[in-house]
Structure 1
Amino acid sequence: MKVVIVGGGAGGISTASNLRKLDEEVEIVVLTRDNQVSYSPCAIPYVLSDRIHSFDDIVMRTVDDYKAKNIDVMLETEVTGVDSAKKQITYSKNGVVQTMNYDKLVLATGGSPFVPPMKGVDLDGVFKIRTLDDGKQVKEWAENCKSALVTGAGLIGIEIAYAFKKMGLKVTLCEMLPQIVPRSLDPDMAKILTDYLIEEGIDVVLGQPITELKGEDGKVKKAVFEDGTEADADMVILATGVRAELNLAKMAGCDCGRWAILVNDRMATTVPDVYAVGDCVESYSAILRSNTVSQLGTTAVRQAKTLAQTLAGKRSRFNPVLNSMVSKVGKLEFGAVGLTRSFAQQNSIKAVVGKVEALTRARYYPNAKPMNVKVICDADGTIIGCQIIAEERVAERIDTMTLAITQELTCFELSNMEFAYAPPVSMVTDPLVIAVEEVSKKFN
């Protein structure tokens, strides 16, 4: 059997690696437009801020490493066509167009950065950050700049803005919506993070779309907002999200949904012997019971493991998603899982909320840090969301709440669960328990 994988990101390369572990005989070919494979795009902001020394440090495997596993990785190769009837792809490498047959095809084409419709996006100094080369170009350009503007205040936008501040630049972070991280945080929790960024010296502009980028001698110099105000910008980062790449899926005849490729829980598309994983597919929401997007590296890797099991003829299914996330900017960690209160209300779910400020350690233990916890339940008390901001120990509590939501626990059940305790690492009553107890008071 020959498995051809289009895309060398987390979804594609993880499918190849996991499939090889399960089947030593299957022929595996990975084609990618990139000139590197198996690196972490999520780490790029931390290289910019010098928390990670070099871009080389975030490359985890080479082509030779995969060759040793009998996986053929073809770099700088553009797949231009799919004929699912003939089970054949067309690709271009070094200007030469060729075809390749397959028994099973995996589309791991990811997403393309969204470019807002504004004047001046073609000026020099305007960047998108998606690949390792993008990161290198940004770092090189930033070394000759005094000011930078990041448009889009999602996870990557915030992390890059902070990295530029650490590089000594005057930084403006702007978001057309009235808050930062709108997919994961409610406005009150987002304000905690916004206030921290401002304290760190970053100018935050909310609710103001950019209408134009102005330049001199072909290089960007200023950004103009909707209200007419301007911000200095020797460079601009478009961190405005990604859109699934669907061209090849449509060529193959795959059904697509509102956002991306439709797949079942074994990662199969609607076309026989064509599968898809990663940012280019729609996932199923565990809470809303409908399709959603989950453009996270963790999601792509879990999908890849499911697909590898499927291709190896084993039983496996990809579970519905909750989109749990965590990030760190400066000294502040923030994480979320499930629905925000705002998103629950938009979907006609009555949200009952508890929000508390506790401590990360016993109050008498040195260096105990404030921890803000917000828990969202539905009308029956079932937990459907959680958001946490603190200087430490956020990730493990987000993981705990991910498990609680997956198991459809209520706030009453979680408040009676056993949690570990020691003064250096927690309060005797965990902040999660304090938060769900606060929610419980709002029920009879």
Structure 2
Amino acid sequence: MRVVVIGSGAGGLTVASNLRKYSKEVEITVFTMEDKVAYSPCAIPYVIGGDIDSFEEIVMHTPEYYGKHGINIVTESEVLEVASSQNLIKYRLINGDESAPELITLKYDYLVIATGGYPFIPPVEGNDLEGVFKVRTIEDGAKIKEWSKTSSKAVIVGAGAIGLELGYGLKQIGIEVSVTEMLPQVLPRSLDPDMALKVQEYLEGQGVRIILNNALTKIVGVDVAEEAVVGDIKMDADLVILSTGVRPSIELAKQAGCNIGDMGVVVNERMETSVSNIYAVGDCVEVHDGITGQKTLSPFGTTAVRQGKVAAKNLAGKDAVFRPVLNSVVSKIGELEVGAVGLTEESAKMNGIEVVVGKSQALTRARYYPGCKPIDTKLICGLDGTILGCQIIAKETVAERVDTMAMAIAKQVKCNEITEMEFSYAPPVSMVVDPAVMAAEDALKKLSS
């Protein structure tokens, strides 16, 4: 059996690695346009900001490593055609040879489309000037890092997690930074306005300028970026980073005849597309929200890995399903850790779900223990007390707390059950009453009033 995987991101490589674990006989070929594989794009801001010394450190494995395990990685290659009726793909090598030879054909028994997403570039004047960058790959990151060595003023367009991480990192290496966002808050997908304000105030306290409610109008310069204009605000900028999100790469799936939904490639719970021997995983597929049931995107490495494992098991003749998502996220912006899972108060309202909110302001450790830090917790609960969402901000222990709440939401735990749960306690690592319990108790008061 020959399995061809298009894409070497988290989803594609997880399919390849796990399929090899289940079967030594299957022939596995992975195509990628890059020369490096097995790295996390989420680490790029931390290399640019100097927390990680080099991009080489975030590369976990080489193509040669996979080759030793019987997985053929074809680097610097572009798949241009998928002829699903003939079970074949056509690709070309893109190793700098502009006079590329005619397309190379390869047959497959099963195809996995893991084409990921492509950066959305605002269609504004000047977006092609030198000094203007997208941020998606190691190559993008390396270009930004090199350019930043001679930069003094940066404008980052987009106040999602990557944009804020980049903003803090560039500020730390001595660059004057402005982060702009067309919506009225930072982290608009993950946080409610009240929690987002805490992140904004932290960044402003670190010297990062935040400009909200203003879209990028144009980038001005002669060959090289000199100024960014957002709304009516003009800012000097010799470095502009477009951190404006990604869009699913669906062209090859569409060409193959796979059904395309409102968000991305349509797959079933086994990660199968509408074409019988074609699977799809990662940022290119649409998924279902675990609370509302609506179609959504989940462009996270953790989602891609879970999908890849499901696809690999099913390709190997085992039985596995991918569950609807809660989109657990966590980010480290300077000293601040920010995490969220499930619905926000705003998204609940948009979906017509009535909710109550429980909040707590507590500490990460016993108040008398050295190094204790403030922690803000917000729970979004249905009128029957079921927990639908959680947001946490602190300078430590956020990820594990968000993971706990992800499990609670997945299991439809109610506020009263949280207050009755057994939490661990030791002064150096926790309070005797967990902050989540305090927030749940606050929600219960409102539910009973």
TM-score in terms of structure 2 length: 0.98
Residue 122 of structure 1 deviates from its aligned partner by 1.0
**Which residue of structure 2 lines up, in the alignment, with residue 35 of structure 1?**
35
Residue 413 of structure 1 deviates from its aligned partner by 1.0
Q: Distance in 1 between matches of 2:190 and 2:230?
A: 25
Q: Do structure 1's residue 283 and structure 2's residue 287 form an aligned pair? A: yes
**Which residue of structure 2 lines up, in the alignment, with residue 301 of structure 1?**
305
Q: Distance in 2 between matches of 1:253 and 1:380?
A: 44
**Which residue of structure 1 lines up, in the alignment, with residue 163 of structure 2?**
157
**Which residue of structure 1 lines up, in the alignment, with residue 97 of structure 2?**
none
Deviations 1:79-112 (A, max 9, x none): 0011111001110115231111000000000001
Where does 1:349-368 land on structure 2 (aligned, <5 Å)?
349-368=353-372
**Which residue of structure 2 lines up, in the alignment, with residue 330 of structure 1?**
334
Q: Is the 8 A contact 2:360 2:436 kept in 1?
A: no
Residue 366 of structure 1 deviates from its aligned partner by 1.1
SS in 2 for 1:427: coil
**Which residue of structure 2 lines up, in the alignment, with residue 78 of structure 1?**
78
Deviations 1:10-63 (A, max 9, x none): 110111011111111100000001111111111111111111111100011011
What is the identity, as a one-letter code, of the residue corresponding to 2:113? Answer: L
Q: Distance in 2 between matches of 1:46 and 1:262?
A: 34
Q: Do structure 1's residue 124 and structure 2's residue 113 form an aligned pair? A: no
Q: Distance in 2 between matches of 1:82 and 1:427?
A: 57
Q: Distance in 2 between matches of 1:196 and 1:235?
A: 23
Where does 1:105-116 land on structure 2 (aligned, <5 Å)?
105-116=111-122
Residue 259 of structure 1 deviates from its aligned partner by 1.3
Q: Is the 8 A contact 2:263 2:295 kept in 1?
A: no
Deviations 1:141-190 (A, max 9, x none): 11011111100000111111111101110000000000000000000000
Q: Distance in 2 between matches of 1:232 and 1:397?
A: 41
In the alignment of these two chains, the number of paired residues is 442
**Which residue of structure 2 lines up, in the alignment, with residue 225 of structure 1?**
230
Where does 1:337-352 land on structure 2 (aligned, <5 Å)?
337-352=341-356
**Which residue of structure 1 lines up, in the alignment, with residue 238 of structure 2?**
234
Q: Do structure 1's residue 203 and structure 2's residue 238 form an aligned pair? A: no
SS in 2 for 1:401: helix
What is the identity, as a one-letter code, of the residue corresponding to 1:20? Answer: R
Where does 1:86-101 land on structure 2 (aligned, <5 Å)?
86-94=86-94, 95-96=100-101, 97-101=103-107
Deviations 1:298-356 (A, max 9, x none): 00001001111010000111111100011101111010000100001001000210111
Q: Distance in 2 between matches of 1:239 and 1:275?
A: 29
**Which residue of structure 2 lines up, in the alignment, with residue 262 of structure 1?**
266
SS in 2 for 1:157: helix
Q: Is the 8 A contact 2:267 2:279 kept in 1?
A: yes
Q: Distance in 2 between matches of 1:133 and 1:346?
A: 38
Residue 229 of structure 1 deviates from its aligned partner by 1.9
Q: Do structure 1's residue 388 and structure 2's residue 392 form an aligned pair? A: yes
**Which residue of structure 1 lines up, in the alignment, with residue 195 of structure 2?**
189
Q: Do structure 1's residue 425 and structure 2's residue 429 form an aligned pair? A: yes
Q: Distance in 1 between matches of 2:410 and 2:428?
A: 29
Q: Distance in 1 between matches of 2:332 and 2:85?
A: 47
Residue 69 of structure 1 deviates from its aligned partner by 0.2
Residue 253 of structure 1 deviates from its aligned partner by 0.5
Q: Distance in 1 between matches of 2:216 and 2:331?
A: 26
Moved over 2 A (4+): none
Q: Distance in 2 between matches of 1:224 and 1:286?
A: 39
**Which residue of structure 2 lines up, in the alignment, with residue 8 of structure 1?**
8
Residue 377 of structure 1 deviates from its aligned partner by 0.5
Q: Distance in 2 between matches of 1:356 and 1:394?
A: 14
Where does 1:169-180 land on structure 2 (aligned, <5 Å)?
169-180=175-186
Q: Is the 8 A contact 2:157 2:179 kept in 1?
A: yes
Q: Is the 8 A contact 2:176 2:208 kept in 1?
A: yes
Structure 1: segments with no counterpart, 5+ residues: none
Q: Is the 8 A contact 2:118 2:247 kept in 1?
A: yes
Deviations 1:348-376 (A, max 9, x none): 00021011100101111111110000000
What is the identity, as a one-letter code, of the residue corresponding to 2:86? Answer: K
**Which residue of structure 2 lines up, in the alignment, with residue 147 of structure 1?**
153
Q: Distance in 1 between matches of 2:233 and 2:435?
A: 42
**Which residue of structure 1 lines up, in the alignment, with residue 67 of structure 2?**
67
Q: Distance in 2 between matches of 1:283 and 1:424?
A: 40
Q: Do structure 1's residue 292 and structure 2's residue 296 form an aligned pair? A: yes
Q: Is the 8 A contact 2:180 2:230 kept in 1?
A: no
SS in 1 for 2:226: strand
Residue 225 of structure 1 deviates from its aligned partner by 2.0
Q: Is the 8 A contact 2:133 2:240 kept in 1?
A: yes
What is the identity, as a one-letter code, of the residue corresponding to 1:196? Answer: Y
Q: Distance in 2 between matches of 1:389 and 1:147?
A: 29
Residue 381 of structure 1 deviates from its aligned partner by 1.0
**Which residue of structure 1 lines up, in the alignment, with residue 173 of structure 2?**
167
Residue 207 of structure 1 deviates from its aligned partner by 0.4
Structure 2: segments with no counterpart, 5+ residues: 95-99
Q: Distance in 2 between matches of 1:256 and 1:352?
A: 36
Where does 1:385-424 land on structure 2 (aligned, <5 Å)?
385-424=389-428
SS in 2 for 1:180: coil
What is the identity, as a one-letter code, of the residue corresponding to 2:435? Answer: P
Q: Distance in 2 between matches of 1:300 and 1:46?
A: 21
SS in 1 for 2:207: coil
